[in-house]
Structures are given as structure tokens and as C-alpha cells.
Structure 1
Amino acid sequence: MTVVTFYTIAKTVVKMVLTPAYRIQVTGLENFPKEGGVLLCANHIDNLDPPVVGITSKRPVRFMAKEELFRTKWTEKLMHGLNAFPVKRGMSDREALRSGLKMLKEGQVLGLFPEGTRSKDGKLGKGLAGAGFFALRTEAAVVPCAVIGPYKIGRKLKVVYGPPIDMQPLRDRKASAEEATEMIMNTIGQLIQEHSV
């Protein structure tokens, strides 16, 4: 069984379970580019964010996942089957950065949660420079995504995809990765504010 086939099956099964359980409502899919590299950046409020973003995205998403999830042969196979690749937390992981750049340049969708960890209070936190690094070092479309909870069975969960952020002015003046990340996080914050009830 190929990775793509496993991913497709897993996505279908997870979608069948999570969509009715959390009454997932998706907005803005028309903003998602049909082709070309996409840097998909979302806020992080729950452990279920990766599968929720994965099942609502129009295209397969490659997620960075903490290295600990790849430590056994079984979990390593599972994570690769789910299109995830490892990243070391708390340090600059050059191998993960190279892998991410390669994926974007190949026209794939790279999914990131710029905050790096789940928000304890549900509020949007500060983003790490990695998102800005990918945004500035490639020509990929940068698509902001807001996951608006709560994650409670039977309660509506919103996933909002905003229009791609125009990063070209920042690329032209060689802005810092931190500034680019701040722009991405501000845009995600706007989506949360506009679509929260």
C-alpha cells in the first residue's frame, strides 16, 4: 500500500468520524490554491488540530511533527503514512527546514502551527520564526487558517481558510523571518476575530 493510498483512506475515515462529532464547518476553501507550493499556517488549540486541518484541506498536507512520535518503528511508519515528517523541538532543526523547503519548491502543501505548541487558554500566542523562514525563502502561497473551537462533542467547530497573504513586499526588502511570522499571525488573528461568534 502506498503512502498516498494510506493517507487517502485515513483522511476519509477520520473525516467520517470528526466531521459529525464536532459539527465541523469549513469556510474559505475557494482561497486555497489548486496547485503550486502552499505554506498553510494555522493556530493551535487542540491535539486534534492536525487531523482537522488535514481533512478540511483541499489537498494533501505535509505536517511537521515532534520527533518523539517517530521513535518506534510502528509510529514512524504511521507518521510517514500520514504525510508527517519529524522536527526537533526547542532547537533549529536544519534537516527539517531543508525538507520543508524542498516540499514547497516541489509544489506540495506544508502545514505549520507557528506557535509551536498548543495554546493553554485558547488565545493566539506568539509565532516562531520558522513560518516566516519558509514564507520568505520560497515563492509558495501563504494561506492562513483559523481553527475556532471549542472541541466539544456536538458543538460547532469552525475552520476558516483566508486568502493567501501577499509576502512579496517582505521578500523584496529582505524582511526578517520574525517580521514575516508576525504578519502571518496577525492575519490568523483577524480571521479568528471575524469568524468567532
Structure 2
Amino acid sequence: MTFYGFARGVVKTVLTPLYRVKVYGKENFPETGGVLLCSNHISELDPPVVGISAPRPVHFIAKEELFNMPVLKMILPHVNAIPIKRGMSDRNALRKGLGVLKDGNVLGLFPEGTRSKTGELGEGLAGAGFFALRTEAKVVPCAVIGNYKPFRTTKVVYGKPIEMEELRSRKASAEEVTKVIMAEIKELIVKNR
């Protein structure tokens, strides 16, 4: 068993009963090929909860500062996390993310770039659109709904892959594509609250 599989099992055993994690729409998640998984961001618990809910291993892009924290710096490199420098174009992180998708794996992103202070969906950054346009990966929207109160239900909802052909063929901007992704996430939140 890989460290990722072991860590996922441990986290799932703890978080699933504690936050009553319910997963919807797993059938929308492609079984093979590159997947760009884009979720809203309401808590620092989102990456592990989305990670244990996804049917396939996820390579999350995470802020570089987390890789300097005492325990996390030992764990993150072994659970497929990719560090990114915030507030600038981090070519190394972008290259690694594209590699994950081109190799047919799952890249997890929180397009807002940071946690929402209000719990409401914020503006998405162009990075999500960049990855969606630069690869043939399926783009799967995801909504985390709940407030992570112990023994209250937290939902993770996967939507159908977003139709990208028209956007890719007319060379839409990364910003426009990110807006489309954010609209799909918002729709999932509204429908499943």
C-alpha cells in the first residue's frame, strides 16, 4: 500500500463519521484520463475531505507556506501535494500541474485561491482556466456544503464534467473559462444546500 492510500484510509476513518461526510455524484467522475477537479473552499478541511471523497487519488495544488509547517512538511510531499507560490506566476507549479493532467491523473484546485471568510463562493482565479485550456482533461466541478460542525452533515457533490470543446476551439481566455467553472460550482451549491 502506498503512503497516500494509508493516509487516505486514516483520514477517512476519522473525518467521515466526525463530519458525517456524504458524497453525491461520484458517477460523474471520469474513471480514467486527466481530470481537473475544481472545488469551492470554505475550510482548511476541504483538501482532506475532497481527497477522501474522490474516487481516484488527487494531486492538490497547495500554498507553499504549508510545506514549511512542522508536521505538514513531512506529509504533503507524500500525498501528491504540489507547492505553489501565491501572488505570482509560479511556472514550476504550473508545469507540474500540467504534467499531472497530461499523465492522465487528477489535479485538485480551489480556484478561489484561498478560503472564503463568509462561506459564500468568491471570485475564481485564472489558474483553473489555464489548466482547463492547456490540456484535454475533463473539468469536474465540486461543491463542499456544510460548516464542519462535529456530527452535522457535510456534503461533497461532484457535478458532470463541464463541456469544454466550444471554449477550447474558440480559444476563450483563462478568465472566461474560470468564470464558467465557478458558475458550475455555484449551481451545485445552490441545488444541494
Taking structure 1 as the reference length, the TM-score comes to 0.95
Amino acid at match of 1:41: C
2:191 aligned residue: 194
Residue 45 of structure 1 and its aligned partner are, at CA, apart by: 0.2
Q: How does 1:25-104 map to 2 (within 5 A)?
A: 25-71=22-68, 75-104=72-101
Amino acid at match of 1:180: V
Residue 146 of structure 1 and its aligned partner are, at CA, apart by: 0.2
Q: Which residue of 110, 113, 124 corresponds with 1:113?
A: 110
CA distance in 1, matches of 2:93, 2:82: 8
In structure 2, the gaps of 5 or more residues are: none
Q: How does 1:100-179 map to 2 (within 5 A)?
A: 100-179=97-176
Amino acid at match of 2:41: H
Amino acid at match of 1:39: L
CA distance in 2, matches of 1:94, 1:160: 31
CA distance in 1, matches of 2:19, 2:74: 28
CA distance in 1, matches of 2:153, 2:65: 32
1:41 is paired with a residue whose SS is strand
Residue 77 of structure 1 and its aligned partner are, at CA, apart by: 3.4
In structure 1, the gaps of 5 or more residues are: none
Amino acid at match of 1:13: V
2:43 is paired with a residue whose SS is coil
Amino acid at match of 1:101: L
Q: 1:13 to 1:98 in 2, by over 3 A?
A: same
CA distance in 2, matches of 1:11, 1:119: 25
- Per-residue CA deviations over 1:111-132 (Å, capped at 9, x if unaligned) read 0000000000000000000000
CA distance in 2, matches of 1:72, 1:162: 33
Q: 1:171 to 1:11 in 2, by over 3 A?
A: same
Tell me how many residue pairs correspond in the alignment. 193
CA distance in 2, matches of 1:122, 1:76: 27
Identical counterparts, % of pairs: 66
Residue 189 of structure 1 and its aligned partner are, at CA, apart by: 0.1
Q: Which residue of 11, 14, 29 corresponds with 1:14?
A: 11
